[in-house]
Amino acid sequence: MAIQRTFSIIKPDATERNLTGAVNAVIEKAGLRIIGQRRIQMTRAQAERFYDVHKERPFFGELVDFMTSGPVVVQVLEGENAVKAYRDVMGATNPADAEEGTIRKLYAKSIGENSVHGSDSEENAAIEIRQFFSEADIAG
Ligand code: ATP
Ligand code: MG
């Protein structure tokens, strides 16, 4: 399997509880390398653009409110089969369904405030990375 990149967000519920390092430790233990990282306050425009695929879902407004409620850490992760490897270590969207040892089982508060985002395909990873990073801010 090839070396891939994926896009990650450590969400406001995790930054608020000072869990950036704890989440990063799980990411690195899973064999993924953090090759780009920046802490930002997302604007509504950024969050709405990022979650555009969910704009018809009933939770869209709540999701944008949450993602702009505090700082997030945007990241580029690299490793073997990184898209799937990160989805595996994140765990299920709803922490009640997440496997032991996953980030969401360890730290998520609810299906909405679920601590991390990870791209769901290599194509979306490239689009999401481009929204938040220039190549000059990534060093693999
Ligand atoms: P992400 O895209 O953040 O990596 P995911 O792919 O596991 O998570 P999606 O179905 O893409 O989940 O939903 C995007 C995000 O929307 C979820 O991570 C969660 O924060 C929020 N969300 C999803 N379902 C619900 C829901 N039923 N109620 C509230 N928020 C939700
Ligand atoms: Mg998703």
- Confidence at residue 37, expressed as pLDDT on a 0 to 100 scale: 98
Pairing of strands 33-40, 72-80: antiparallel
> Would 54 be classed as within a structural domain?
no
CB-CB neighbours of 66 under 10 Å: 18
Looking at 117, 118, 129, 132, which residue is catalytic?
117
Flag whether 106 is in a domain: yes
Nearest-CA residue for atom 19 of ligand 1? 112
- Inside any domain, residue 130: yes
Establish whether 130 is an annotated binding residue.
no
What's the rounded Cα separation, in Å, for the pair 94 and 78?
Answer: 25
- CA 2 – ligand 2 centroid, Å: 22
pLDDT, mean of each 10-residue run, the chain (140 residues): 95 99 98 98 98 97 98 99 98 98 98 98 98 97
Domain range for 104:
3-42+72-137
Whether 53 maps to a domain, the answer reads: no
Is the residue at 47 inside a domain?
no
Structural domains counted in the chain: 1
For residue 60, being part of any structural domain is answered with no
pLDDT of amino acid 83: 98
What per-residue confidence (pLDDT) applies to 73? 99
In a domain, 28, yes or no: yes
**Is 117 considered catalytic here?**
yes
Q: What whole-number distance in Å separates Cα of residue 1 and Cα of residue 103?
A: 24
Q: Indicate which CATH number applies to the domain containing 28.
A: 3.30.70.141
Which stretches does DSSP call E strand in 13-94?
33-40, 72-80
Evaluate whether residue 64 is within a structural domain. no
**Cα 76 to Cα 55, 92, 95, 103, distances in angstroms:** 24, 20, 23, 17
pLDDT of residue 119: 98
